[in-house]
Amino acid sequence: MDFELTEDQKMIRDTARSFVQKESPVERMRKLRDSELGYDPAVWRQMGELGWLGLPLPEEVGGFGGTMIDTSLVLEQLGSTLVPEPLVASVVLGGMAVVHGATPAQQKELLEPMCEGQTSLALAWSEAGSRYDPAAVEARAEKSGDAWALHGEKTWVLNGHAADHLVVSAQAPGGLSLFAVAKGAKGLDVTSVRTMDGGRAARVRLDGAEGRLLGEEGAAAPVLDLVLDKGAAAACAEGLGVANAVLWMTVEYLKTRKQFGVPIGVFQALQHRAVDMFVQVELLKGTSILANARVDEDDDDVRRSAVSAAKAQLTNGGFFVVAQGTQLHGGVGVTDEHDISLYFKRMRVLNALFGDEAHHVARYMSSPRFTADLG
């Protein structure tokens, strides 16, 4: 596999890096976490103008027809300064659910304005008892004439508090299906909740809310399986940006913080810990690249194995990096005033999204390739 970036990909990466450094330092996230929305609609539109919101989406809906590798290059840079705009929630989850689960006409209607940054989407799949299983759905859809009425509850819907349309999974007579529910629909109750990293999500109650069937009835299960893998790969890319920022923030601290009249970085024990952090970041980089490259492949087992390996590395090695960075900063590292505490919290959220370490290790071990190698 060729890991070299194309010229276009280098331009995407460099543009995103320049943007976050100039337009979205960590201080911007600090201010926005106390706002009702949690991000800036003007910056969301700017991302649309830059083409980031359409990177993995088809050209027919205003996208660029790119890959998850293209999107991962942007996400890594967004993670480096904790940019709060919902690119993963709206584009990777909501957007890709529409791409893989809706008709061409529905795709055009829902995705064109999002590509421009005029609207946003959310995928409402998780329920209180579902854990990481998208097929464990109790929400139901009842048909009356040409309309569908949805009943049930969804939890921790990323960007659910702000989305113009929710893509909701529900059990229909023909099986698990996807429905589009417009913001403000009668029977839709959305409660904004804060996440531990200062972001926003939503609890969604459906009490007869009108939904529009996306694509074919009963076809949602493989779509959700694929889309949540893309979400996990995206989390690894963002987590790589978080971990890399923490590594170099910590190295700089070791160079400047003095104890006993010398920089603490001269002590070999601390140098070893910094090296261990570097190793984990490099492991995360390799597994993240592979996951985002293989998540677009048709072979489900290849996709799942690569994604699970990367997500396990994120929840293990990624957490190691932020934990070591926090400890090496001493007491100031656990205060809200220091940026490293914000990175720590964001990494913990990314660790939990789309499957924790135990979930992905078990899934990796269930791979036919893994069991064949054992035999």
Torsion angle (degrees, nearest 10) of CA 120, 123, 128, 132 = -130
Percent of the chain with pLDDT over 90: 84
3: pLDDT strictly greater than 80? no
Tell me 267's DSSP state.
S
Looking only at Cα atoms, what is the longest distance across the chain? 79
CATH of domain 7-119: 1.10.540.10
What mean pLDDT is reported for the chain? Answer: 93
Measure Cα distances from 355 to 195, 310, 361, 364 in Å: 17, 11, 10, 12
Instruction: Name the residue among 214, 210, 203 with its Cα closest to residue 187.
Output: 210
> CA 46 to CA 69: how far, in whole Å?
21
Q: Is the pLDDT of residue 296 over 60?
A: yes
Is the pLDDT at 127 greater than 90, yes or no?
yes
pLDDT value of position 2:
62
Query: pLDDT-derived band of residue 325, with 50, 70 and 90 as boundaries?
Result: very high
Burial 161-195 (b: 16+ CB within 10 A, else e): bbbbbbbbbbbbeeebbbbbbebebeebebeeeeb
> Does pLDDT of 131 surpass 80?
yes
The answer to whether 352 touches 322, Cβ cutoff 8 Å, is no
353 — pLDDT class (breaks 50, 70, 90): very high
144 phi and psi angles, rounded to 5 deg: -135, 100
Place of tokens 């009490």: 207
pLDDT surpassing 90 at residue 323: yes
Q: State the architecture of 122-218 in CATH terms.
A: Beta Barrel (2.40)
pLDDT of residue 4: 83
d(CA 227, CA 362): 19
d(CA 178, CA 150): 11
> Strand, coil or helix: what is 186?
coil
CATH topology of domain 222-374: Butyryl-CoA Dehydrogenase, subunit A; domain 3 (1.20.140)
**Cα-Cα end-to-end distance for the chain:** 27
Q: What is the tens place of the pLDDT at every residue in 200-249?
A: 999 999 999 999 999 999 999 999 999 999 999 999 999 999 999 999 99
In one-letter notation, the amino acid at residue 33 is: R
Question: pLDDT class for 371, splitting at 50, 70, 90?
Answer: low
Could you give phi then psi for residue 57, rounded to 5 degrees?
-95, 155
CA 255 to chain centre: 33
Residue 30 has pLDDT above 70, yes or no: yes
pLDDT tier at 282 (50, 70, 90 boundaries)? Answer: very high
Mean pLDDT value of segment 127-139: 93
Q: How far apart are CA 156 and CA 133, in angstroms?
A: 14
Is 373's pLDDT higher than 90? no
Question: What integer pLDDT is reported at residue 254 of this predicted model?
Answer: 85
pLDDT of residue 223: 97
Of 164, 151, 158, the C-alpha closest to 231 is 158
Domain regions of the chain by residue span: 7-119, 122-218, 222-374
> Taking the mean position of all CA atoms in its chain, how far away is CA 290?
16
Burial of 130 (0-12, 13-18, 19+ CB in 10 A): middle
CA–CA distances in Å: residue 241 to residues 79, 81, 314, 331, 348: 5, 8, 11, 24, 14
Beta strands in the chain (DSSP E): 121-124, 140-144, 147-158, 165-172, 175-182, 188-194, 200-214, 258-259, 262-263
| Cβ–Cβ < 8 Å for 201, 195 | yes
